[in-house]
Amino acid sequence: MGGDLPKQWRALGGLPVLARTVAAFRAAGLERIMLVIHPDDEGRAKALGLPYVHGGRTRAASVRAALEALTAKTPEHVLIHDGARPLVSPALINRVLAELTDSPAAAPALAVSDALWRGAGGKVAGTQPRDGLYRAQTPQGFNFMAILAAHRAHPKDAPYAPADDVEIARSAGLDVTIVEGEEENLKLTYPADFARAEAILAHRTMSQRQEQAMDIRTGNGFDVHRFGPEVAGGTACCLCGVQVPHGRALLGHSDADVGMHALTDAIYGALAEGDIGQHFPPSDPQWKGADSAIFLRHAAELVQARGFRLTHADVTLICEYPKIGPHTAAMRAALAAIMGLEDARVSVKATTSERLGFTGREEGIAALATATVVKP
């Protein structure tokens, strides 16, 4: 890496690399964290406020020193991570932890997608098949007692140093499950890696600000109306703004449009603005027999007044009869016109209750609705 300061203590986005690494594990919900450091770095390590041990001459010796220190209060599992991988995500950490429920060891990796060459003297000397090859990452997770035993059994005078803890685990007969890694989980090795890491951090910061700036809310609505008596010669039900022929009309204080009522409540719910009954009390005679479009239009206008934008609406009608399918296109168009939306942002569908309950007995119709509003 070059420079006078070890890479794990260099600043990345205003914080030491190791501090960023620790923050990722804390964000994943881990509280018991131990550092393995060079004796010269005790002052810097103390500033992080974490327990630490001195490392050894090799990576394996350093890891074993930490494992032995953890036996004072033996954990069930342990994650071993390169401090120079500060961009590991909490999601990746938790994927490795989750795999340890059914496996003694798990580690993240990315399948090799580039062609592989062997080189000699600065020239291509051959090719290497990439099938079944992976780029190893950390954190590598293990059953604690199993990896401790593997490290204790590993010969200190082995002819070569193991590449990582997965190699030590496999030498002890442990099966290691591969977990999907992440491209951004890079290991800082060369000076150019710091520039790449800074760019990734800047992108993450911008994305977080955009997410925080955008307020997305979803509301749900539910309504039920019973059928009135049979009408000689037939009548119609008002459903989602469309008159649907049927032998019995729905009963209600207004026009009893059960679909529109559910959708209106969904919009009010997304805004945390109560329900229809609060805005249009049934005790007020002026709303007797009123067109439900008045209610829905009021809810849509309230969305704009609160600085939001209505982006999607979905209504499900639950009944045996009348048949809704032939009318869904007209219903979508009617609702979209009232709310000022494109038809493509409005969904109307129907289902039965398999002859169960009051809808199955054809005593009435129920409706469910969902609405989404967004404040940019």
pLDDT score, position 15: 93
Alpha-carbon distance of 21 to 30, in angstroms, equals 12
109 and 185 Cβ atoms separated by less than 8 Å: no
Residue 102: name the closest of 177, 170, 25 by CA: 177
* Confidence at residue 211, expressed as pLDDT on a 0 to 100 scale: 74
Are 24 and 88 within 8 A, CB to CB?
Answer: yes
Give the 3-state secondary structure percentages of the chain, helix then strand then coil, rounded to 5.
40, 25, 35
Note the maximum CA span of the chain: 98
CA of residue 230 relative to chain centroid, distance: 50
How many angstroms separate the CA atoms of 222 and 161, rounded? 65
156, pLDDT greater than 80: no
The strand ranges marked E within the chain are 11-12, 15-16, 35-37, 52-54, 77-80, 105-111, 116-120, 123-128, 134-136, 140-143, 177-180, 215-226, 235-239, 242-246, 309-318, 346-351, 364-375
Token pair for 354: 């398999």
Q: Give the range among 21-35, 157-171, 173-187 with minimum mean pLDDT.
A: 157-171
More confident residue, 215 or 93: 93
Return the axis-axis angle of helices 17-27 and 90-99, rounded to nearest 10°: 60
Q: List 236's β-bridge partners, or say none.
A: 245
Beta strands 309-318 and 364-375 are: antiparallel
Q: Percentage of the chain surpassing pLDDT 70?
A: 99
Sketch the domain layout of the chain as residue ranges: 7-113+129-212, 214-375
d(CA 62, CA 58) in angstroms, rounded, equals 6
Phi, psi of 239 (to 5 degrees): -130, 120
Confidence at residue 230, expressed as pLDDT on a 0 to 100 scale: 87
pLDDT attached to residue 234: 77
> What distance in Å separates the CA atoms of residue 186 and residue 34, rounded to the nearest whole number?
21
Is 50's pLDDT higher than 90? Answer: yes
Fold for the domain defined by 214-375: 60s Ribosomal Protein L30; Chain: A; (3.30.1330)
- Tell me the CA distances in angstroms from 303 to 123, 210, 345, 375, one per residue in order: 66, 21, 16, 9
Q: How far apart are CA 19 and CA 9, in angstroms?
A: 8
Residue 1 pLDDT greater than 90, yes or no: no
End-to-end CA distance of the chain: 43
pLDDT reading at 376 higher than 80: no
pLDDT reported for residue 104: 97
For the chain, what is the mean pLDDT? 94
Quick one: pLDDT at residue 62?
A: 95
The pLDDT of residue 4 is 86
Q: Is pLDDT of 360 > 80?
A: yes
pLDDT of residue 212: 73
Per-residue pLDDT of 228-237, as tens digits, reads 998 877 788 9
pLDDT bracket for residue 320 (50, 70, 90): very high
The distance from CA 372 to its chain's CA centroid, rounded to whole angstroms, is 18
- DSSP at 251: P
CB 181 within 8 A of CB 110: yes
pLDDT at 42 over 80: yes
| Residue 242 token pair | 């469309």
Q: What is the pLDDT confidence band of residue 359, given thresholds at 50, 70 and 90?
A: very high
Question: How far from 18 is each of 25, 37, 41, 81, 193, CA to CA, in Å?
Answer: 11, 11, 12, 11, 15
**Mean pLDDT over residues 172-200, rounded?**
96
- Please tell me the predicted confidence (pLDDT) of residue 213: 74
Q: What is the pLDDT of residue 195?
A: 95
6-29 pLDDT, tens digit each: 999 999 999 999 999 999 999 999
Per-residue pLDDT tens for 103-150? 999 999 999 999 999 999 999 999 999 999 999 999 999 999 999 999
Asked if pLDDT for residue 77 goes beyond 90, the answer is yes
Half-sphere exposure of 355 (CA within 13 A, CB side): 0
Q: What would be the CATH architecture of the domain defined by 7-113+129-212?
A: Alpha-Beta Complex (3.90)
